[in-house]
Amino acid sequence: MAVVTMSQALNMALHEEMARDERVFLIGEDIKDSTYGITKGLWDTYGHKRVIGTPISEAAIAGAVLGAASVGLRPVAEFMYMTFMMCAMDQVVNQAAKSKYMFGGKAVLPIVYRTMAGAGRANAAQHTQSLEAWFAHVPGLKIVMPTTPYDAKGLLKTSIRDDNPVIFIENKVQYATTRGEVPSTDYTIPFGQAAIRRAGTDVTIVALQRMNEIALEAADELAEIGIEAEVIDPRTIVPLDLDSIVKSVRKTHRVVIVHEAHERVGFGAELVAQIVQHAFDYLDAPPIRVANPNVPTPFNRTLEELSIPSAAQVVQAVRGLMR
Amino acid sequence: MTAPAATRAPNGATDAASASPITMAQALNRVLAEALASDPKVVLVGEDIGHAGGVFRVTDGLLARFGAARVLDTPLAESAIIGAAFGMALTGLRPIAEIQFMGFLYKAIGQLAAQAAQVRARTWGQVNAPLVVRCPYGGGVRTPEHHADSLEVLLAHSPGLKVVCPSTPADAAGLLRSAINDPDPVVVMEPIRLYRAGRELVADDAPPVPIGSARVRRTGSDVTVIAWGAMVPVALAGAETAAAMGIDAEVIDLRTLAPLDAETTGASLEKTGRLVVVHEAPLTGGLGGDVVADLVERCFWALRAPPRRVTGCDVVYPPQLLEDIYLPDAPRVAQAIRAVMED
């Protein structure tokens, strides 16, 4: 099995799905030249009818894929930077997410909205936001957040084959730096199945996307002082594999949630509420969230680092719970 | 500019009428008129707010009294409304924009959450935007699709935005006053079904209601019920039903959704040890989760049962005939209060 980067794994999935199904096409800004290499080579193979570059207009991209999907195509749209999905929220929520319900199940809209979140490259406030909490609150959308190249390929294939709108969030800091084994064969990963990234008995750490790398780093540090952390990656937050999380918390009795999005009304809040509801009698300490401290991501490198959860913060949070 | 004299009393909210109880719509109208009269920098912007007086009559009579330069009717373009209002705020005006129904705020959320909300942080405090966005929101009045959404989650998850949500005429007036006085963007979520649900006396000189201050609407010792906007009367009715079962519920009206009044909610939960949160928006990812998570983190050792949430369902806001099933009502609140006592 080849070791590839996150962007290469995503590229493999797109190549394979476009070859498999001629209804699949790509649309977005700068996707012919591909800023991060995700759509590299696809224009050369499939041409401008299936790899469509657009003006800088997220609303137009979201509107176009809505129309294309409603007449039987299977679009994969790219929204460079998640903050700019704000400009397409009406098309995504009021139109795509609601249509199946509003038309009595008759509207089938197989749309994948690929977008990039995550801070850590000095891209400042509008090129770093993680807005999964906005979309997780919208009935009718599935939310996919892959952490490893293997998962990225398998989950993107599942997303493209799903008959509903899917928000597929990629962490741009991982594109070139996160590597892993990815088979060149066809495989899919079902939605709603968490991955246990590390088994442990003393505390559960639920981490979203790149924060799994931070959580594993923290778990190694905690192991040195005799605390065994279990690290859980939900992989998709809608649908959510609550069973795996609750089972782990019932075993460890303690939980820390780690995500890059703002803490207030982040998805961590929903996780805490669900965990407390389903594992109240098992908890030995309050669930704690480690997240962005409710600030727009600063441009300044030093301040930016302070706004992203760190392994040290996770270790500190866990140690606080163990007392 | 010269403001034309009033041709008729807007909503009856004249000085002579101020000694009478008024509706929430009238209370908001009165504060808007006051702001326009006292500060030439205040400008209203929105769809149908001028000639039509607002679809809910909140801006009734203001065009006639203050003129078209102060009360601007716009095309149906929410992104243009917020974009224009944000620009006005940056250049010294005090715009008050209206998004006619909150479901259409999606069209303008980029201008609001990415531009206006972040401008102070992005300029290291050198630039601020005193922008008020009024959003009629919520269900219960048989509106069609997209006209009943409650989108507080988008706003409260956006650093730089303050969000207030009144449930009474007096609080509506007091919170709108604070919003207008605030140097940064504030969204006023106005519960559509409470615009005319009741009347109360609102003094002309009533002080602003501070942003970030919740209000205990019913004192109780057994369980804390937290609600906002149109769910406050529902929570109060649920508490009365529970009282008949011998359960003494405390009902807190959050009034401000961002920032949260941690002190009032924490003190109540420390006392009761039990929590029910009520909101109209869907359960998953709703603001209720954040209220629960915050209180569990701070008051864990006082908790005697797992908190419960009574919310809208995890479906698209339904058509008229189903909305009574979708929306939390007093029996559901009472049932949750009872269940949290038995947990």
Structure tokens at B309: 């949430």
* B205-226 pLDDT per residue, tens: 889 999 999 999 999 999 999 9
Beta strands across the sheet bearing A229-233: A195-198, A229-233, A203-207, A255-262, A288-292
Q: Assess whether pLDDT exceeds 50 at residue B14.
A: no
Closest approach of A211 to chain B, Cα-based (Å): 19
- CB-defined contacts A:B, below 8 A: 135
The domain locations on chain B are 10-194, 215-342
Say if the Cβ atoms of B316 and A267 lie within 8 Å. Answer: no
Q: What is the rounded average pLDDT of the residues B113-136? A: 96
Query: Strand, coil or helix: what is A165?
Result: coil
Closest approach of B316 to chain A, Cα-based (Å): 6
Say if the Cβ atoms of A98 and B145 lie within 8 Å. Answer: yes
Please check whether residue B160 touches A, CB under 8 A: yes
Say if the Cβ atoms of B316 and A98 lie within 8 Å. Answer: yes
- Side-chain-facing half-sphere of B150: CA atoms under 13 Å: 33
Provide the strand spans (E) within A35-161.
51-53, 74-79, 112-117, 142-144
Residues of B in contact with A89 (CB under 8 A): 106-107, 109-110
| pLDDT at position A177 | 95
Top residue of A66, A137, A283, A304 to mutate, by most chain B CBs within 10 Å, is A137
Mean of the per-residue pLDDT values of chain B = 94
Structure tokens at A240: 């959510």
CATH number for B215-342: choose from 3.40.50.920, 3.90.1150.10, 3.40.980.10, 3.30.70.270: 3.40.50.920
Residue A85 and residue A141 in contact, taking contact as beta carbons nearer than 8 Å? no
- Give me the catalytic one of B51, B147, B157, B279: B147
Structure tokens at A145: 């957040």
Residues 107-126 of B with CB under 8 A from A: 107, 109-110, 113-114, 117-118, 121-122
Beta strands across the sheet bearing B215-218: B215-218, B249-253, B223-227, B275-282, B308-312
Residue B292: closest C-alpha in chain A: A273
Single-letter residue type at A279: A
> Class of the B10-194 domain?
alpha beta
Please check whether residue B129 touches A, CB under 8 A: no
- Give me the catalytic one of A16, A127, A170, A262: A127
User: In this predicted structure, which of B30-34, B140-144, B286-290 has the lowest mean pLDDT?
Assistant: B140-144
Nearest to B258 among A98, A264, A285 (CB): A264
Is residue A58 among the annotated active site residues?
yes
Closest-CA residue to B250 (of B301, B266, B258): B266
Rounded to the nearest 10 degrees, how much is the dihedral formed by the CA atoms of A71, A72, A73, A76? 90
* B80-106 pLDDT per residue, tens: 999 999 999 999 999 999 999 999 999
Structure tokens at A161: 């084959």
Q: What is the 3-state secondary structure (H, E, C) of chain B?
A: CCCCCCCCCHHHCCCHHHHCCECHHHHHHHHHHHHHHHCCCEEEEECCCCCCCCCCCCCCCHHHHHCCCCEEECCCCHHHHHHHHHHHHHCCCEEEEECCCHHHHHHHHHHHHHHHCCHHHHCCCCCCCCCEEEEEECCCCCCCCCCCCCCHHHHHCCCCCEEECCCCHHHHHHHHHHHHHCCCCEEEEEEHHHCCCCCECCCCCCCCCCCCCCEEEECCCCEEEEECCCHHHHHHHHHHHHHHCCCCEEEEECCEEECCCHHHHHHHHHHHCCEEEEEEEECCCCHHHHHHHHHHHHHHHHCCCCCEEEEECCCCCCCHHHHHHHCCCHHHHHHHHHHHHHC
Residues of A in contact with B292 (CB under 8 A): 269, 272-273, 276
Q: Bridge-partner residues for B72, per DSSP?
A: B45
| pLDDT at position A124 | 86
Run of H or E residues at A305: helix A301-307
- Side-chain-facing half-sphere of A214: CA atoms under 13 Å: 27
Q: Please state, in angstroms and rounded to a whole number, the distance separating the CA atoms of residues A173 and A128.
A: 10
Top residue of A265, A275, A299 to mutate, by most chain B CBs within 10 Å, is A265
The length of chain B, given as a count of residues: 343
* A158-214 pLDDT per residue, tens: 999 999 999 999 999 999 999 999 999 999 999 999 999 999 999 999 999 999 999
Q: Please state, in angstroms and rounded to a whole number, the distance separating the CA atoms of residues A226 and A25.
A: 51
pLDDT band at B4 (very low <50, low <70, confident <90, very high): very low
Stretches where chain A sits below pLDDT 70 are none
Q: Please state, in angstroms and rounded to a whole number, the distance separating the CA atoms of residues A7 and B196.
A: 55
Please check whether residue B61 touches A, CB under 8 A: no
Residue A124: closest C-alpha in chain B: B122
Say if the Cβ atoms of A266 and B157 lie within 8 Å. Answer: yes
Closest-CA residue to B233 (of B218, B212, B211): B218
Residue B193 and residue B166 in contact, taking contact as beta carbons nearer than 8 Å? no
Query: Strand, coil or helix: what is A173?
Result: coil
**Residue A310 per-residue DSSP state:** -
pLDDT band at B18 (very low <50, low <70, confident <90, very high): low
Say if the Cβ atoms of A134 and B297 lie within 8 Å. Answer: no
Q: Bridge-partner residues for B100, per DSSP?
A: none
Distance of CA B196 to the CA centre of its chain: 15
Nearest to B297 among A90, A270, A288 (CB): A288
Q: Please state, in angstroms and rounded to a whole number, the distance separating the CA atoms of residues B285 and B276.
A: 16
Say if the Cβ atoms of A276 and B286 lie within 8 Å. Answer: no
Residue A94: closest C-alpha in chain B: B146
Q: Please state, in angstroms and rounded to a whole number, the distance separating the CA atoms of residues B298 and B310.
A: 21
| pLDDT at position B11 | 47
Q: Please state, in angstroms and rounded to a whole number, the distance separating the CA atoms of residues B288 and B308.
A: 9
Is residue A29 among the annotated active site residues?
no
Q: Please state, in angstroms and rounded to a whole number, the distance separating the CA atoms of residues B99 and B190.
A: 11
Single-letter residue type at B117: A
Please check whether residue B320 touches A, CB under 8 A: no
Q: Bridge-partner residues for A51, per DSSP?
A: A26
Cα of first residue to Cα of last residue in chain A, in angstroms, is 44
Q: Please state, in angstroms and rounded to a whole number, the distance separating the CA atoms of residues B258 and B160.
A: 9
Structural domains present in chain A: 2-182 (3.40.50.970), 195-322 (3.40.50.920)
Which residues make Cβ contacts (< 8 Å) with residue A296, sequence separation at least 6? A125, B117, B118, B121, B122, B159, B160
Nearest to B286 among A93, A137, A286 (CB): A137
Please check whether residue B296 touches A, CB under 8 A: yes
**CA-CA distances (angstroms) from residue B267 to B47, B69, B220, B253, B298?**
42, 47, 12, 14, 10
Nearest to A296 among B118, B285, B297 (CB): B118
Say if the Cβ atoms of A102 and B145 lie within 8 Å. Answer: yes
| Fold match flag (B10-194 vs B215-342) | yes
**Residue A297 per-residue DSSP state:** P
Say if the Cβ atoms of A296 and B160 lie within 8 Å. Answer: yes
Closest-CA residue to B59 (of B11, B19, B12): B11
| pLDDT at position A273 | 98
Say if the Cβ atoms of B297 and A280 lie within 8 Å. Answer: no
Say if the Cβ atoms of B285 and A268 lie within 8 Å. Answer: no
ipTM confidence = 0.96
Residue B144: closest C-alpha in chain A: A102
Closest-CA residue to B278 (of B252, B245, B243, B304): B252
**Residue A281 per-residue DSSP state:** G
Say if the Cβ atoms of A272 and B289 lie within 8 Å. Answer: yes
Q: Please state, in angstroms and rounded to a whole number, the distance separating the CA atoms of residues B128 and B130.
A: 6
Say if the Cβ atoms of B297 and A287 lie within 8 Å. Answer: yes
Q: Bridge-partner residues for B310, per DSSP?
A: B278
Distance of CA B240 to the CA centre of its chain: 24
| pLDDT at position B8 | 41
Residue B222 and residue B341 in contact, taking contact as beta carbons nearer than 8 Å? yes
Q: Assess whether pLDDT exceeds 80 at residue B15.
A: no
